Amino acid sequence: MKKTVTLLFILTFLGLNAQRLKTEMIIEQSEMILRNIIGQDLIKYFAPTEGISFYRLKENRFGFVSTKKLKKNGKTRRKWIEIWVHWRFEYPSIQGLSSALWIKLDKNLNPLEPLELNIIPDFIWNNKPSNFISINDAEKIGERNLTRTNFGIDDLKLSFDSKLNMYVYEICNKKTQDLDSDGKKHGVLEIIKISALTGEVIEIIDGYYGKTIIR
């Protein structure tokens, strides 16, 4: 009887701990999934992002579902239901060309949904030279379409716009400038988005800088 109880305890303990996974194992599994989809040549442009990936726990008796960060050299808690691993994408040959994707894993560490691979431009998939317009050309387009002021234009940024599903150059231009009671500059700015592929002006919207959050 004692041996039976001990055996049941060991089996139960092993079963529970089988659900506790090391962070390194999770990262390796997500990398294998990514590598199998994009190939050996492109995996070098990806790297796991520390401090962002997380896992979800089973809901408690009140129906609340909590999340926990994946810690380096750490382990998941028991009774997790899915894991989200964040991978950043950077293409060093083009300044600013970077983005990120999530690899979402189920209880068997299989993908929960297809990966969002539109962040990889076609010319990289096909191992060809970039067909994006240059930074200089994007700046000239911005100068032609933005309001001329004396307050300055922020540095141009290249990023993947998930809503537009494309890479865009974005430039912020200060239209007005005032000082608040603390002496901090604030005012209205305009934001232009330019297609990195065609040079088309996608939109120009107003925003704010200083104490007011840019929308």
> In this predicted model, what pLDDT tens digit does every residue of 80-105 receive, in sequence order?
999 999 999 999 999 889 999 999 99
Residue 149 and residue 72 share a domain: no
Statement to judge: residues 58 and 25 lie in one domain? yes
Same domain, 147 and 89: no
CB 158 within 8 A of CB 145: no
Query: What is the domain count for the chain?
Result: 2
Consecutive H or E run containing 3: helix 2-17
90 and 65 co-located in one domain: yes
Reported as a single tens digit per residue, the pLDDT across 120-129 is: 999 999 999 9
Distance of CA 99 to the CA centre of its chain: 6
Give the domain CATH number at 142: 3.10.450
Q: Is residue 140 domain-shared with residue 102, that is, in the same domain? A: no
* Paired strand residues for 103: 85
Residue 96's nearest CA partner among 35, 160, 17 is 160
More confident residue, 27 or 8: 27
Residues 102 and 151 reside in one and the same domain: no
Cα gap 43→125, rounded to integer Å: 11
Same domain, 42 and 120: yes
pLDDT band at 3 (very low <50, low <70, confident <90, very high): very low
Do 118 and 163 sit in the same domain of this protein? no
Which tokens sit at 110? 């299989």
Residue 175: domain span? 135-209
Measured distance CA(199)–CA(193) in Å, rounded: 9
